């Protein structure tokens, strides 16, 4: 009898990419059959179109090798599928006419510059006003999921309180093609962050596993020994040092929940005003009341973690050309940087 295994991380778990891995161990008595027909027969809840897209994007491997749809499945083959999966969002999501800042759009995808206050998907007290609510309203035919759930083109996500660029897939093929790039870590993602203090090294790499916190499942903890969580790699570079805070650039090799926020706390440089990780307190600087008031004023200007998804690069699903997008820092971020500059000039 064929055996089938699924490895499905919840949408809010460590990995922020939307990938579902299915492994099929073919029965010893299996007769030869075309791969696409075999998969359609054994995966009743997945459309043949999705299966074809997965094969065409090299998201289906047989015995660790890429194959064509015409490949003949043989006894004892091991078939591995990496599919763009349903996001766990109920199909009855309320469409809402929420304006979107669309940076780029074509028939296959679009790039959205998310405002910091917008949540990406419904859940945990945010059932309306999300990016998903807006997408369902603006686009009637975005890629759908399975099991009665909707997957409105989400390939990756960024946290509430974080601003910046997101790519949205508009077709099933684009969804699969882009999701594979995120899973294979072949995209380029650059963030700007304002952190407390100045790192000892102006440039470095943080390679430490990240997983859900044991005491608080809402946060991500770092496990440097690698005995828990998943591999997480963040490259950082200091752009500007402002004595008590620093503006940095971060490039992600992996995409774990709260990766930059958890990694920067781990090396002792929590993001400015990141309440979840303790950055909403005066962590560097003077004890004078005027300085404390200055910091509080900065917190009021940027009432969120100072993190912005600045640039995004990937291969286009149809043209196969490299696409690169960049965004400016939002107003609250630039105002805080200006205040710190002004403070140091007159310090």
Dihedral angle over CA of 264, 266, 268, 273, nearest 10: 50
> CA-to-CA distance for 312 and 243, rounded, in angstroms?
29
Residues of the chain with pLDDT under 70: 1-18, 85-91, 124, 144-151, 347
Backbone angles phi, psi at 331, to 5 degrees: -60, -40
Cα distance between residue 121 and residue 123, in whole Å: 7
pLDDT at 11: 34
Give domain 3-84's CATH number out of 3.40.190.10, 2.60.120.330, 3.10.290.10, 1.20.210.10. Answer: 3.10.290.10
What is the residue extent of each domain of the chain? 3-84, 89-185, 190-313+321-345
Rg (CA), the chain: 22
- The sign of the torsion formed by the CA atoms of 284, 290, 296, 297 equals negative
- Residue 60's pLDDT is 94
The CATH class, in words, for 89-185 is alpha beta
Domains 89-185 and 190-313+321-345 share a fold: yes
SS3 42: helix
- Supply the pLDDT for residue 91: 59
Q: Give the number of other CB atoms < 10 A from CB of residue 113.
A: 19
Helix 48-56 with 172-184: angle, nearest 10 deg: 40
Supply the DSSP string of 262-309, one letter for each residue: HHHHHTT-PBTT-GGGTTTS--SS---HHHHHHHHHHHHHS-S--EEE
pLDDT for 147 equals: 43
Q: What does the pLDDT read at residue 14? A: 33
- Burial of 330 from C-beta contacts in 10 A (0-12 / 13-18 / 19+): middle
pLDDT digits (tens, 9 = 90+) for 162-210: 999 999 999 889 999 999 999 888 999 999 999 999 999 999 999 999 9
Burial class (CB in 10 A: 0-12, 13-18, 19+), 46: middle
Kindly give, in sequence order, each residue whose CB lies less than 8 Å from that of residue 128, ignoring residues fewer than 6 positions away: 94, 96, 122
CATH superfamily of domain region 190-313+321-345 = Pseudouridine synthase (3.30.2350.10)
Active-site residue numbers?
Answer: 159
The pTM is what?
0.85
Distance in Å from the first CA to the final CA of the chain: 75
Q: 250-281 burial string, b = 16+ CB within 10 Å, else e?
A: bbbbbbbbbbbbbbbbbbebbbbbbebbebbe
Cβ–Cβ under 8 Å, residues 43 and 101:
no
- Would you list the DSSP string of 200-238? SSSEEEEE-EEEE-SS-TTSEEEETTSSSSB--EEEEEE
pLDDT of residue 88: 54
Task: Reduce the DSSP state of residue 62 to 3 states and report it.
Answer: strand
Q: How confident is the model at residue 293, as a pLDDT?
A: 94
């Amino acid at each position: 009898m064929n055996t089938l295994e699924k490895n499905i991380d919840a949408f809010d778990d460590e990995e922020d990419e939307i990938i579902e891995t299915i492994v099929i161990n073919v029965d010893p008595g299996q007769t030869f059959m075309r791969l696409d027909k075999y998969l359609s027969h054994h995966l009743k809840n997945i459309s043949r179109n999705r299966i074809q897209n997965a094969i065409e994007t090299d998201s289906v491997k047989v015995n660790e090798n890429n194959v064509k749809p015409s490949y003949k499945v043989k006894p004892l083959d091991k078939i591995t599928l990496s599919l763009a999966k349903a996001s766990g969002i109920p199909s009855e999501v309320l469409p809402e006419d929420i304006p979107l800042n669309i940076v780029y759009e074509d028939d296959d995808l679009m790039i959205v510059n998310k405002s910091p206050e917008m949540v990406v998907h419904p859940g945990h007290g945010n059932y309306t006003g999300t990016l998903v609510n807006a997408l369902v309203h603006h686009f009637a035919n975005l890629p759908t999921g399975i099991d009665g759930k909707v997957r409105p083109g989400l390939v990756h996500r960024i946290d509430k309180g974080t601003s910046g660029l997101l790519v949205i897939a508009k077709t099933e093929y684009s969804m699969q093609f882009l999701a594979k790039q995120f899973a294979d870590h072949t995209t380029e993602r650059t963030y700007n962050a304002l952190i407390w203090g100045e790192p000892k090294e102006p440039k470095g790499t943080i390679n430490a596993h990240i997983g859900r916190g044991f005491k608080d499942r809402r946060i991500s903890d770092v496990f440097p020994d690698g005995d828990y969580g998943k591999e997480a790699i963040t490259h950082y570079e200091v752009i500007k040092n402002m004595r008590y805070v620093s503006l940095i650039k971060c490039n992600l090799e992996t995409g774990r929940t709260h990766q930059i926020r958890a990694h920067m706390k781990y090396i002792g440089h929590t993001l400015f005003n990141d309440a979840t990780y303790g950055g909403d307190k005066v962590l560097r600087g003077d004890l004078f009341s005027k300085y404390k008031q200055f910091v509080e004023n900065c917190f009021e200007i940027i009432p969120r973690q100072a993190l912005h998804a600045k640039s995004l690069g990937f291969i286009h699903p149809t043209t196969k050309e490299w696409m690169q997008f960049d965004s400016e820092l939002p107003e609250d971020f630039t105002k805080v940087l200006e205040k710190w500059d002004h403070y140091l000039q007159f310090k």
